[in-house]
Amino acid sequence: MPAEERLPQLGRVAPEVAARLIAEGELDAIGRLVAASNVTLLCRVTLDGGGPDDADLEGAAIYKPVQGERPLWDFPDGTLAGREYAAFLVSEASGWGIVPPTVLREGPFGPGMVQLWMDVDEEVDRVALVNDADARLRRIAVFDAVVNNADRKVGHLLPMADGAILGVDHGVCFHVEPKLRTILWAWRGKRLRAAELAVVERLEADLSGQLGSALRGHVTRREVEATRGRAQRLLRTGRFPQPSPDWPAIPWPPY
């Protein structure tokens, strides 16, 4: 089957439309991403418009069932799917929209994470983006510092045709210990911009309120407190973090 038939093109739509599609649409698994370390299924997702004048919605999504997760000794609590959804909640609270629309729901193989498939701009060289320290990656570096992303690889960056750059694969975030591993060290130790600090300040406040309450359904209370502590540290120093000498700074493989 041609790729354009296997992957329905939804395009960039209003967030509420995308959220409804992946939350309520029917999932039909059409393939598996074999390079992924956990079961990761590519699905066609369709949603009946509900009436003669309402158009059906059709798109593609990534589905990661909980039962396909491999246990990780250093992330024993909760599920990777829950951590991915928690990262989406932080992304939404930041206002940056880094993580594509994501939900937790039942699927063909039980509960799991479902995330809208995003078609990247194949003309963009992602390695060059990193090597050139593209300014659009700064907000992802700040986001990763807050959620303590232990696995930011080049392949987890999604350059879009409209110029935005998104991030995916956040199953190993929110640990209480420093585990930041990333290919985005170009700004290490450099000052955060006022707009970046304003976002971190908003997140820090929200982590003691509504956002913190939402996260506690998916990560531990200590991890929520540690996330708030990382936000406070960024505000206190006003700078991007430095690599830790006690933890590999770059994931392997980096792509």
- Give residue 99's pLDDT: 98
**What are the residue ranges spanned by the domains of the chain?**
3-237
120, amino acid identity: V
- Give residue 52's pLDDT: 43
Residue 72 zone, left/alpha/beta (φ > 0; ψ -120 to 50; rest): beta
> Torsion angle, CA of 143/72/34/81, rounded to 10 degrees?
-50
- Give residue 188's pLDDT: 98
CA 240 to chain centre: 20
pLDDT tens-digit series, residues 8-67: 656 556 778 888 999 999 999 999 988 888 999 999 999 987 544 566 788 999 999 999
Q: What whole-number distance in Å separates Cα of residue 124 and Cα of residue 133?
A: 14
Contacts of 120 (CB under 8 A, 6+ apart): 158, 159, 160
Helix, strand or coil, per DSSP, at residue 137? helix
Residue 22 zone, left/alpha/beta (φ > 0; ψ -120 to 50; rest): alpha
Tokens of 69: 């997760």
Report the chain (255 residues): mean pLDDT per 10 consecutive residues: 50 75 95 89 86 71 96 92 98 97 97 96 96 98 98 97 96 96 98 98 98 97 98 98 91 90
Q: Which of 120, 125, 163, 147 is nearest to 228 (CA)?
A: 147
